Amino acid sequence: MSTFLLVHGAWHSGRCWERVVPLLASAGHRVIAPSLTGFGDKAHLFGPEVGLDTHVDDVVRLITEEDLTDVILVGHSYAGLVISSAANRIPDRIAHLVYLDAMVPEDGESAVDVQPVTQTLIDRAAESGAGWRIPPMPESPPPLGLFGVTDPADVAWLRTMLSDQPALCLRQPVRLDNPAVHAIARTHIHCVADMPEGIERRPVPATQPNGSPAQVWELQTGHDCMITMPAELTDLLLKLG
C-alpha cells in the first residue's frame, strides 16, 4: 500500500479529486486529498495573508501529524510550487514527487518566475477593489473550456468548487535549498490538449535532480485531467504506487 497525497491547484479545492480518490483507494492505496487554506472546507480561513508558505505549512503539517511516510506527493498546476517546498522541508517522508501539469520551480522562484503570465493576474487584482483577490480564469469556447473542461455538466460541477486565489500565493518564493530534496524521484504528467494563450511549459531536463532519466508522461486532455480523464490519470499514478 502506498500513500497518495493529492494537492489541488489555484482556485480549486480538494473536491476536484473526487473521481480519482476512489479509483486509487480501490487499488488498495491510502489517498488523501485535502483542501488548502482558504478553499473548500477551509474557505473561512481565506484572506490576504494566505500565501504559498501557508499552503506549504498545510501539507507539511498534515504529513507530520498523520505520521505519513513514503508519500507519493502529487501537485496539480500551482501546487507544483507547494509540493516542492513541502518536500524541501521533510524530504525523508516523500517517496516521489508528481508534477501534474504543474509549475516546476527552481530554488527562490515564485509563480511569476515559472509562469510569467501570472503577473497579469496579480496586476488585475491590484486594480480591483480588494487588491489581492484573483478570480478564476474565465471560461473559453471549446476546446479550451474552463481549465480544459468542456462538458457542460462537468463545467457546472467545477464551478461549484472554484473561488478566488490570494495574490500572495503567486508572489512568495519556493525554497529548494535542502540537498536531500534533490534525491527524491520525480515524474511529470503533461496535459497536451490545447493550451490557453500565454501559458508556457518549461522543457523537462533529460536528467532528474537525482541523476536518473526524466520520466514524462502525457494525457491527451485539458488542464483539469482529474475531471476529464480520471481513469487514465489513475492508471499512470498506479505505476508509481
Mean pLDDT computed over 139-147: 93
Assigned CATH class of 3-238: alpha beta
Cα distance between residue 124 and residue 135, in whole Å: 9
Amino acid found at 111: A
**Tens digits of residue pLDDT in 106-124:** 999 999 999 999 999 899 8
The single residue of 2, 13, 35, 77 carrying the catalytic annotation is 77
**Tens digits of residue pLDDT in 168-226:** 999 999 999 999 999 999 999 999 998 888 888 999 999 999 999 999 999 999 999 99
Cα distance between residue 50 and residue 54, in whole Å: 6
Cα distance between residue 240 and residue 158, in whole Å: 27
In total, the chain counts a number of residues equal to 241
Domain extent listing, the chain:
3-238
**Tens digits of residue pLDDT in 29-47:** 999 999 999 999 999 999 9
Q: Check if 13 is active-site.
A: no
Strand, helix or coil at 85? Answer: helix
Give the pLDDT of residue 125: 84
- CB-based contact 101:191 (threshold 8 Å): yes
Cα distance between residue 91 and residue 16, in whole Å: 26
